[in-house]
Chain A
């Protein structure tokens, strides 16, 4: 029967992980604008074209050294 205990703990911690991921997603603003990403995905032409949030793309680093968002 103690296997149920392990299963309960496992399921709870897994669900907790998902909740944490959701909290992170909301906090980082992923739910603020749900329309633009659907357009952006059409223009994706390689990882270098869009500097990711907070991190400059490789091209931008070589272009200007000041980026430290």
Chain B
């Protein structure tokens, strides 16, 4: 860093810490002076803001974007939303994207490509409001080579058509980055195309079933009301034939998945719920076709099509997914696509897959180490918190090894690659057997446990009824009773109970900031006995708390001195001190600034000498540090002014405020455990929180965490793991229910069953209670449908079933169960306290587009 910081730091690649500290000021504006906010991004303008035509900008970057947009007739961007922009952190460094033009990379990223036209879908996490959607869909005004573009708000994506002869893919990406919508491109994008979970076929199946259901119902009604005498026998037959014709596509297309599933479960010799459904559908259609073809009756086709329609609607309801969240990410989605390689004196962007052992790469502040490597130039300050759980950054001198996944903080360094990314220490975790197992094991789900007993009971009753009538010598009634039992027992209501109840629960949970991968996860929660927590980023906040100052309080002038010095450093602790001493004052110039990584900072401001760093750093300058040790066991930074020790900044890893209460509530009901990759510095503190029974393990490697979970499972316990980092990925995968904590939307989370926002973590106990309650409601739903089945069965076994009874009984049972499931799950959500607190969480997380309006 230079000793004299420019008054308005431009958002260039080497000064992101400054822009970041400005961004943190956004949340809590300094009191007193009225803050002038940037027209583009809404950040406070400090120092002497760039002003143009009465508009204020916080930096040159924002001003440039504003000019670019207004000159191209896109000024409406600023009318649609107040300060809609996002500060571009990418800078004008277009070379970062050049690797996108490599034919191989390009080919894998493009959706469609021809000589004259290409289409690409970029994931743009910065999309947050209606103005973003508008701007992205008007990109063509900015560049002649860009054609139609379409934004998808829910998925945070934009599909852009462009002419490769006029604009290169790298230029397109750079343009988006300049506008503040930096495309998120990870290594994972090269492996598999994002397969969109589009439920088009299900929509079509429902449409066909609904169409047939409605029309067949119209044909059946005259018969139910005894209007045959008006229409005559001809219409009777005609309506029957038309119904049969309409029911065929329902049977062959709409109900296709049920046939297929029944066949599969037959082959695997298991009895899933699809078996009695398929049997019921077959019996319904067979009996109806027979009656219509022989002219004996009108059949049950209205019941058949209605049943399929309801079942499919239940399935659609269950298929609700959280499109913005990916539940199956591996480490490849964590790594960027490219890195800067230094070759023969020049720098080039190269895809990470192309990296070879021995390559020299340049890493800037905030970038990830893409592969295990060795430092060759500069002192690297590396934050491994996401990979290992260590909360403090570590310094690595030239010659020392660094591992893939660490994030560089501080000055630029050069590294020499030692291993390809795939063979790195981090990636080796993914070769563990736990990642090979099938997470979608539905065999133990509530519904399948019931369906086995159910199916056996139905077959027994059907055969029993048939035998009874055969013994009485009534063969015709025996056949009818057998078919009738199969028809009535078709477990439509049973099949709806679980998806409706759990689907409703899933929706309420999502409003509260808890996103379940599927409804099956909620069932699994009800069996959990042991809850295991990770420390860094899960129990503690990954975003650092303001440091506390121990010593005589600093006066404003002194604060300004410390602020001016601390803001010069990119060290995360210095950045926290700078943020804490920032009272909106304009920083003073620092003379003779020096920074020794791992030691501290020194500089002169307005003639005052300031030292900030470790006790030994002060000692090297002949000052004895204040013997104050802050109560928290986090790291400290000593401050000396004009040769005298002044005090200590205590930098603790702040616990999420709601954690103590959460742990106290969970303690009574569950066993608890803590697995941390960090040092056991804070053991006493966590022992007090977790209680004497809980296992507390520190210095755990990712593999040790996984093994711990596995060992508990072998003891027969159902384990829930709550974690956030890559170091928890193995444990999350191994556990029965893996919960990943997501700090900000769009951030990377390892593969998991549930993604919970940081603010919602405190309500985990309620979520657990609610899931248990929902599972109980499913059982009640089963009981209701069983009661209907029993009533129907008694009629059917007596051989008295008629199409009219069927047409009333089937929809009635389905509707009862649907209403019960929806109201029950909502009532339980209110009782469990999921709902009232939810409103804020949902506004910021799931629906922030509307909130921004």
Q: How far is the CB of B230 from chain A (nearest CB, A)?
A: 8
Question: A1-41 toward B: CB 8 Å interface, digit per residue (1/0)?
Answer: 10011001001100110110011001101011111100110
Q: Which of B41-49, B129-137, B265-273, B681-689 contacts A (4 or more CB under 8 A)?
A: B129-137
Q: For the complex, is B263 an interface residue (Cβ under 8 Å from A)?
A: no
Q: Report A56 CB to chain B, min CB distance, Å.
A: 7
Given contacts A33-B155, A40-B137, contact A26 B203 (CB under 8 A): yes
Query: Which A residues are CB-close (under 8 A) to B138?
Result: 49-50
Bound together, the chains give a CA A32 to CA B152 distance in angstroms of: 10
| Residue from the list A26, A33, A45, A53 in contact with B152, Cβ < 8 A | A33
A67 and B153 contacting across the interface, CB-CB below 8 Å: no
Instruction: Give the number of chain B interface residues (Cβ < 8 Å).
Output: 42
Say yes or no: A39 contacts B133, CB within 8 Å: yes
Residue in B198, B214, B231 whose CB lies within 8 Å of A15: B214
> Which B residues are CB-close (under 8 A) to A60?
140, 147-148
Contact residues in A for B130 (Cβ distance below 8 Å): 39, 42-43
A23 touches B117 (CB 8 A): no
Min C-beta distance of B175 to chain A, whole Å: 16
Q: Check B336 for interface membership: any CB of A closer than 8 A.
A: no
> Using Cβ atoms and an 8 Å threshold, which residues of chain B touch A29?
198, 200
Contact B196 A32 (CB under 8 A): yes
Contact A32 to B200, CB < 8 A, known contacts A15-B215, A39-B130, A51-B140: yes
Residue in contact with A66 in the complex, picked from B117, B134, B204, B853, CB distance below 8 Å: B117
Tell me whether B148 and A56 are in contact (CB under 8 A): yes
B147 (CB) vs chain A CBs: closest residue = A67
Contacts of A31 in B (CB 8 A): 199-200, 203
Complex: A42 Cα to B80 Cα, angstroms: 9
CA distance A26 to B208 in the complex (A): 12
Residues of B within 8 A of A27 (CB): 200, 204
Distance of A51 Cα from B242 Cα, bound (Å): 44
The chain A residue with its CB closest to the CB of B198 is A32
Q: Interface size for chain A: under 10, 10 to 19, 20 to 34, or 35 or more residues?
A: 35 or more
| A51 contacts B215, C-beta separation under 8 Å | no
* Pick from B151, B163, B204, B238: contact of A64, CB under 8 Å: B163
With A32-B200, A50-B137, A69-B117 in contact, is A63–B215 under 8 Å at CB?
no
Question: Are A26 and B163 in touch, CB under 8 angstroms?
Answer: no
Q: Enumerate B104-153 residues with CB–CB distance to A below 8 Å.
A: 116-117, 130-131, 133-134, 137-138, 140, 144-145, 147-148, 151-153
Does B204 contact A26, Cβ atoms closer than 8 Å?
yes
Distance in Å: Cβ of B306 to nearest Cβ of chain A: 16
B204 with A23: CB separation less than 8 A: yes
Q: How far is the CB of A64 from chain B (nearest CB, A)?
A: 5
B80–A69 CB distance below 8 A: no
How far apart are B691's CB and chain A's nearest CB, in angstroms? 44
Residues of B contacting A69 in the complex (Cβ-Cβ under 8 angstroms): 117, 147-148, 161
B148 touches A36 (CB 8 A): no
Task: Kindly provide the distance from the CB of A14 to the nearest chain B CB, expressed in whole angstroms.
Answer: 10
CB distance from B806 to the nearest CB of A (A): 23
In the assembled complex, the CB of A65 is this many whole angstroms from the nearest CB of chain B, namely 10
Kindly state whether residue B803 has any CB partner on chain A within 8 Å.
no
Q: Is the CB of B148 within 8 A of A51?
A: yes
In the bound complex, do residue A33 and residue B154 qualify as a contact, i.e. CB atoms below 8 Å apart? yes
In Å, the complex CA distance between A31 and B242 comes to: 30
A-B pairs with lowest CB-CB distance, top 6? A43-B134, A36-B153, A35-B154, A19-B211, A39-B130, A22-B207
- Besides A16-B211, A64-B145, A64-B147, 4 more A-B contacts (Cβ < 8 Å) are A5-B238, A15-B215, A53-B148, A69-B147
